[in-house]
Amino acid sequence: MTITITAFENSPDRGRGLARDMRVRWALEEVGQPYEVRLLSFKAMKEPAHIELHPFGQIPTYEEGNLALFESGSIVFHIAERHAGLLPDDAGARARAITWMFAALSTIEPPIIERATARFQERDQTWYKQRLSMIDERIRQRLNGLSARLGDADWLDGAFSAGDLLMISVLLRLRESGMLREYENLSAYVARGEARPAYRRAFEAQLAVFTAASAS
Ligand code: GTB
């Protein structure tokens, strides 16, 4: 059955792979599943046809036959459950990998998103600098824990898993802040993720969308 995902027609990140279709593309590449992409304008995302698929009018979505999903974490989980390569077979190791998926999305990602929101929407406020440094402190608290747990391992718990895929996707959003450079092992961890052939293929595919959009 054909898998179709949605992505920005014109991504505000200019093809840097930061929009959340990237993690879905990466997961599909890791498990070797072909997929199609339906590109959406900001206007189309808020129209009834898309709201039917995504109640909040966002990307990414995932369609496969009668199944329609939204939420990148749930989509990556669905892919990882149905195809070998992203979750271990051993029940304990599988549960731990899933725990890292949740940790990425519910413990590490929120303060990182808060930072992005502050930078885009609160930059003109008198209290902006103070707020940014408070958020950065919260991010560092999380990165301290993550860095200590990762230590000198390649991946968070044995073999590369959907937990690493989501964690690295989330950490990439921090690159422009320079904060990742404070943690040598996390920088190397992110670089290992980016060096995976599946990541490269996913990155090139989303970049090609931006390149085509800017040429037209
Ligand atoms: N929790 C949802 C998920 O994980 O799928 C969040 C989905 C979401 O935030 N989607 C964003 C969206 O559709 C795109 S990824 N936004 C349009 C809207 O809400 O109207 C977020 C994103 C946007 C831009 C950048 N960037 O420019 O760097 C990075 C990430």
Looking at residue 145, which CATH number applies to its domain? 1.20.1050.10
Average pLDDT over residues 186-206: 98
Q: Are residues 117 and 138 in the same domain?
A: yes
Mutating to test ligand 1, I would choose from 40, 41, 58 the residue with most ligand atoms within 8 A of its C-beta, which is 58
Q: DSSP class of residue 69?
A: E
* Whether 9 contacts 59, CB under 8 Å: no
Residue 8, judged by CB atoms within 10 A of its CB (0-12, 13-18, 19+), counts as: buried
Closest C-alpha residue for ligand 1 atom 19: 58
For position 210, what pLDDT does the model report? 92
For position 68, what pLDDT does the model report? 98
Separation between Cα atoms, residue 10 and residue 28, nearest integer Å: 21
Domain ranges, residue 69: 3-85+198-215
Separation between Cα atoms, residue 196 and residue 122, nearest integer Å: 36
Q: pLDDT tens digits for 125-177?
A: 999 999 999 999 999 999 999 999 999 999 999 999 999 999 999 999 999 99
Mutating to test ligand 1, I would choose from 5, 8, 13, 20 the residue with most ligand atoms within 8 A of its C-beta, which is 20
Q: Are residues 43 and 130 in the same domain?
A: no
Q: pLDDT tens digits for 20-45?
A: 999 999 999 999 999 999 999 999 99
Q: Are residues 189 and 102 in the same domain?
A: yes
The encoded tokens of residue 101 equal 């998926």
* Whether 25 contacts 5, CB under 8 Å: yes
The total of structural domains in the chain comes to 2
Q: How confident is the model at residue 91 (pLDDT cuts 50, 70, 90)?
A: very high
| Ligand 1 environment, Cβ below 6 A | 12-13, 18-20, 45, 57-60, 71-73
